[in-house]
Amino acid sequence: MTSKLRTQTGATSELFSRLSEPGGAAAVLLTGWLALSQTVPDTVATAAGCEGYLRGPIFGALAMELDWSGERLGCEGMSRPDGKGIRLHFAWDQGQDERLVLVVGIDGVTAPVAGLEKPANVTFIDERSGHFYSSGGTGRCWTDITELASLTARNNRRQLKGRLYCTGALPALNDHSSLTLGDLHYYGRFAFDGN
C-alpha cells in the first residue's frame, strides 16, 4: 500500500511539474475549456447498469479489450444542444470512484440516422490518469447505427445498436500520447429530449 502511494505521489508530482512548464498552462486551459464545453446529461452516467454494452479493442496509451456491460456500466443519451444530432455517453466503473468514459457525438437527427454512416465526434476520458483523448471534431471517426427502435413515445426512449470506428488515433490533450480505437460495438436504451 505504501509503495502504491509513493508511486501515485511521484506520478502526481511529475504531472504538476509538466503542467508548470509554459506549454502546460495552455494544455490545462484547453482541457478545462473542452471539458466545460461538453454538454452531458444532468444525470451523468453512473454505474447503475443500463441494459447495454460497449465492446471492442483499444490500443496505444491504454491497451485493452473493452467488454463493458452489467451493473458497472452506465449509459445516457441526449440531443445535442443545437438539435442537430445526438450524444451517447458510456461510463465504466473501474472502482475507487474512477471511470473510463466514452462520449460519442453523432451528426443528424435520430429518425433518419439508422443504417447510415454518420460522422462522429469522440472523446475518451481516463479518470484515473486524468487523460482526455479527442477526435477534435468530425472527420476522423464515424458510426453506423445498425438498429434503432422506439421503446416508448411518451419519454422518447430509443434502443440503439451500432458500430464506432476511427481512421486515426485520438491525441491526448494532456501530453503527446494517443489512443487508437478498434471497431467498437455498442448497444443501449437511451432517452432523448425531443429529436
The C-alpha atoms of residue 96 and residue 94 are separated, in whole angstroms, by 7
The C-alpha atoms of residue 128 and residue 179 are separated, in whole angstroms, by 15
Q: Is 167 helix (H, G, I), strand (E, B) or coil?
A: coil
What's residue 190's pLDDT?
74
What is the separation of C-alpha 94 from the centre of its chain, rounded to a whole number of angstroms?
15
pTM of this prediction? Answer: 0.70
Average pLDDT, the chain: 75
Domain ranges of the chain: 1-37, 43-191
What's residue 153's pLDDT?
55
The x, y and z cell numbers of residue 30, run together, are: 484547453
- pLDDT (mean) for 105-127: 79
pLDDT at 67 over 80: yes
Residues 122-160 pLDDT 10s: 999 999 999 999 998 888 999 988 877 666 555 667 788
Higher pLDDT, 139 or 14: 139
Q: Indicate the angle between helix axes 2-19 and 22-37, nearest 10 degrees.
A: 100
Task: Give the model's confidence band at 193: pLDDT under 50 very low, under 70 low, under 90 confident, else very high.
Answer: low
**Residues 167, 140, 90, 177: what is their CA dihedral angle, to the nearest 10 degrees?**
80
CB proximity list for 36: less than 8 A, separation 6 or greater:
none
